[in-house]
């Protein structure tokens, strides 16, 4: 049993009769149907949710970004419960969770989003049952939604080169954006890892990043990326910086630290894609060049080798296409 964080409340679920029949809440329609506003969790569940999120952060070492995602997903379910006349976590049953998942499908959430929200709710109730905050885990017997295996989308090497070479200006924004693209492609880091870098990286040919689960890994940096970062630090960053005490590597046009949202916006505006596409390209191009699968796993920070093995299917397709295009008897 994992160590407890905080105190477990007195268990009074056996004394809480359901105050009124559970009814399905009114559906959300109109422009807010697909991505509705996520309200705050109801007061009757707030303490339990906060204790659970604290345990996730302390015991599992999840990042604040992951904690915020859990908070949104579970809060959405709890708000749905509140609109459906549930007033106690002990009143939630398996059928109600199923109705919530069906509701998400009705209003247009993707299968991936529904699967993520289902997983968050399952984990929450498993923890509550473990600590006797509910009499039983209503999500225990829910069927597991099979995750479709989708291959990561990588950009061709020529396309990556064209994107980077097109950012050739000398103003601070161009210097910053080129350094961002160079670093994403040279290291394969996640956008959250990139955003957390500091000026201490200047001149280094490797970087230590803290990934999922607070695990550190060392990634080498190619010389083009090193040069781009050095030039940004010397010629671009000082012209944008407002807070002279800040050691954040990336600075926005308002002079403040650039967060993950800002970096995503830059990638979309410059290349019409997302930061993860450059991470996928990093891994795919390494494997196409003959890199060892285990080495790529370490560079990406994947816990499971199976996650990295998805990229081998892409390289096989690339090799097959090359063979069919080049061999005289293909």
Pairwise CA distance, residues 176 & 222, whole Å: 17
Q: Which carries the bigger pLDDT value, residue 325 or residue 116?
A: 116
Per-residue pLDDT, 329: 62
Q: Which carries the bigger pLDDT value, residue 204 or residue 262?
A: 262
pLDDT digits (tens, 9 = 90+) for 290-307: 888 899 999 998 888 888
Per-residue pLDDT, 144: 66
- Torsions phi, psi of 217, nearest 5? -145, 150
Q: Where are the domains of the chain?
A: 23-130, 157-326
Give domain 157-326's CATH architecture.
Orthogonal Bundle (1.10)
Lowest mean pLDDT among 73-77, 163-167, 223-227, 314-318: 314-318
Kindly state the average pLDDT of the residues 89-98.
Answer: 92
Q: pTM (2 decimals)?
A: 0.59
Per-residue pLDDT, 319: 61
Q: Which carries the bigger pLDDT value, residue 277 or residue 320?
A: 277
pLDDT digits (tens, 9 = 90+) for 13-49: 333 333 334 444 444 433 333 444 567 888 999 999 9
Per-residue pLDDT, 27: 43
CB 76 within 8 A of CB 23: no
CB 255 within 8 A of CB 240: yes
Per-residue pLDDT, 33: 37
Helices (H), the chain: 43-60, 64-83, 94-106, 111-130, 157-166, 172-187, 191-195, 223-231, 237-240, 260-271, 275-288, 293-300, 305-326
Catalytic residues: 190, 212, 276, 279, 302, 311
For domain 23-130, the question of CATH label 1.20.120 is answered with: no
Pairwise CA distance, residues 162 & 74, whole Å: 42
> Which pLDDT band holds residue 275 (cuts at 50, 70, 90)?
very high
């Amino acid at each position: 049993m994992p160590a407890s964080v905080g105190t477990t409340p007195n268990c009074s679920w056996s004394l809480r009769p359901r105050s009124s029949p559970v009814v399905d809440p009114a559906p959300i329609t109109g422009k807010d149907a697909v991505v509705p506003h996520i309200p705050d969790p109801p007061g009757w569940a707030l303490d339990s949710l906060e204790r659970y999120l604290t345990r996730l952060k302390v015991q599992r070492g999840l990042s604040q970004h992951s904690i915020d995602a859990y908070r949104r997903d579970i809060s959405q379910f709890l708000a749905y419960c509140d609109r459906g006349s549930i007033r106690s976590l002990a009143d939630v049953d398996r059928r109600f969770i199923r109705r919530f998942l069906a509701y998400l499908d009705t209003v247009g959430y993707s299968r991936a989003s529904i699967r993520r929200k289902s997983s968050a709710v399952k984990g929450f109730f498993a923890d509550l049952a473990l600590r006797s905050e509910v009499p039983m885990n209503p999500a225990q017997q829910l069927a597991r939604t099979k995750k479709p295996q989708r291959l990561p989308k990588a950009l061709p090497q020529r396309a990556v080169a064209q994107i980077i070479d097109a950012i050739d200006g000398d103003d601070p924004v161009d210097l910053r954006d080129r350094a961002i693209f160079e670093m994403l492609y040279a290291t394969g880091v996640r956008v959250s890892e990139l955003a957390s870098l500091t000026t201490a990286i200047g001149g280094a040919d490797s970087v230590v990043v803290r990934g999922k689960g607070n695990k550190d890994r060392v990634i080498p940096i190619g010389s083009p990326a090193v040069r781009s970062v050095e030039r940004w630090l010397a010629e671009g960053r000082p012209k944008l910086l407002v807070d002279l005490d800040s050691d954040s590597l990336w600075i926005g046009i308002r002079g403040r630290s650039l967060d993950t949202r800002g970096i995503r916006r830059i990638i979309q505006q410059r290349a019409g894609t997302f930061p993860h596409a450059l991470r996928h390209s990093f891994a795919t191009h390494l494997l196409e060049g003959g890199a060892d699968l285990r080495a790529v796993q370490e560079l990406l920070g994947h816990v499971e080798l199976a996650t990295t093995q998805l990229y081998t299917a892409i390289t096989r397709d690339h090799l097959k296409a090359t063979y069919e295009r080049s061999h005289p008897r293909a």
